[in-house]
Structure 1
Amino acid sequence: MKIDYSLYAITERSYIGKRSLVDAVEEAIKAGITVLQLREKDITSREFYHLALQLRELTKAYRIPFIINDRVDIALAVDADGVHVGQDDLPADVVRRIIGKEKILGVSAKTVEEAIKAEEDGADYLGVGAIFPSPTKPFSEAIGLEGLKIIKSKVKIPVVAIGGITKDNAGEVIAAGADGISCISAVFCGNIAENVRTLKKVVDESIK
């Protein structure tokens, strides 16, 4: 199955105020996100599981891929479409063995070496960045558009750019070779539907 990674949203409950995350995500899906990743670091495993169950049903209803960040056990428990792991999480080759060949495996990378290793270990796509400094990754060394171009040239799998991406720079990120953009605050901070529609317009025009 070919996945559309063009507008990849990652959850962050702190941006949505008193709204339920499920409602916020549904608004984002209706407006045009193409992939959803559940990434919540400050909740219990039980809470994460129940949230994942709800979002699994929602994403299934709208037929968009549902990825779980880091928690391979919960991804399997709710039959998510895939798992995304960082460089400090379980090794990608181990995750691939656990989840099997059918599920999607995404791996974070900010160097050519990390990107090539992830591809060799069975990653289906890369989350590359941070491209720019961002609210969620203020201390990351941003690799910039040049770093993105270099990594893209060294791998065959799709590259999803992350880090500080907004409606104002999304076009140049796609132009630099990204197959999609991954956003947190640019989607969930403020008017979600308007944010997504604006980002989608920029991305779609840049891909053409």
Structure 2
Amino acid sequence: MMPDFRLYAITGENFHPGRSLLEVMEEAIQGGADIIQLRDKTSHKDELLQKAKALRALTRKYGIPFIVNDHVELALETDADGIHLGQGDMPILQARQRVGNKIIGISTHAVEEALLAGQQGADYIGAGPVYATQTKADVVAPVGLSYIREVAEKSRVPFVAIGGIKLSNVDEVIRAGATRICAVSEIVGSENVAGTCRAFLAKLDQGGQGV
């Protein structure tokens, strides 16, 4: 069962040099992030396992879901709550056979992908990148606010808007129909991680209208 959420925080250690992964992610949770994803494309397997175990313990402490990006076996080994897939990763149906009733999320960049994800049993979808982003090396071109409007209208699966989202532009993403927001650099690269999370949640509360 996919618990509802509003603010999805993804790890990005390159955005907070000198600060530990756990310190930054705990501050995000304290600020209101209610789902956490480990996304790490560079660490070796042993290091990745240690990070996943530490984040699993942290998210259990606060009672929120812990998602692992890409690595199905790592998600199983650390008893993560779920797995997040890209369009080029393991197909949803195959992943479901491996992870059972764990949460499965998938990134989508077009409404056809969003609808297919729903048909194949995804628990949530990422919709984006809304704006240009430097968070990932293999990022696709921005899909813009039009995709957020389209997926808000047509998808029956919960979706989270992602990609280049900042406090300075999130209001228009919310007005386009997003009720769940994901940010990476804006959260983990912030000098005040918890405060930034609270500011995102306040904007969600205001429905993108500001104050």
Normalised by the shorter chain, which TM-score bucket? over 0.9
- Say whether residues 1:95 and 2:95 are aligned partners: yes
1:114-129 alignment to 2 at 5 Å? 114-129=113-128
* 8 Å Cα contact 1:130-1:141 kept in structure 2: yes
1:115 alignment partner, SS class: helix
- The TM-score normalised by the length of structure 1 is 0.94
* 8 Å Cα contact 2:148-2:161 kept in structure 1: yes
Match of residue 178 from structure 2: 178
What amino acid is the match of 1:205?
A: Q
* 8 Å Cα contact 1:124-1:158 kept in structure 2: yes
By how many angstroms is 1:137 displaced?
Answer: 4.7
Q: Deviations over 1:4-59 (max 9, x none)?
A: 33110010000111111011111111111111000011101111111100110100
- The TM-score normalised by the length of structure 2 is 0.93
1:61 alignment partner, SS class: helix
Match of residue 15 from structure 1: 15
Q: Deviations over 1:41-86 (max 9, x none)?
A: 1101111111100110100010111100010101011111100000
2:131 alignment partner, SS class: coil
Distance 1:194 1:207 in 2: 18
Distance 1:121 1:188 in 2: 32
Runs ≥4 residues deviating over 3 A: none
1:52-63 alignment to 2 at 5 Å? 52-63=52-63
Aligned residues: 207
* 8 Å Cα contact 1:36-1:66 kept in structure 2: yes
Provide structure 1 residue ranges, at least 5 long, that are not aligned to the other structure. Answer: none
- Say whether residues 1:200 and 2:189 are aligned partners: no
RMSD: 1.6
Distance 2:89 2:179 in 1: 24
Match of residue 151 from structure 1: 151
Match of residue 112 from structure 2: 113
Percent of paired sites with the same residue: 41
By how many angstroms is 1:179 displaced?
Answer: 2.9
Q: Deviations over 1:128-184 (max 9, x none)?
A: 101111122585311111111112222101110101101122122122122311110
1:33 alignment partner, SS class: coil
What amino acid is the match of 2:23?
A: D
Match of residue 32 from structure 1: 32
What amino acid is the match of 2:53?
A: L
* 8 Å Cα contact 2:172-2:208 kept in structure 1: no
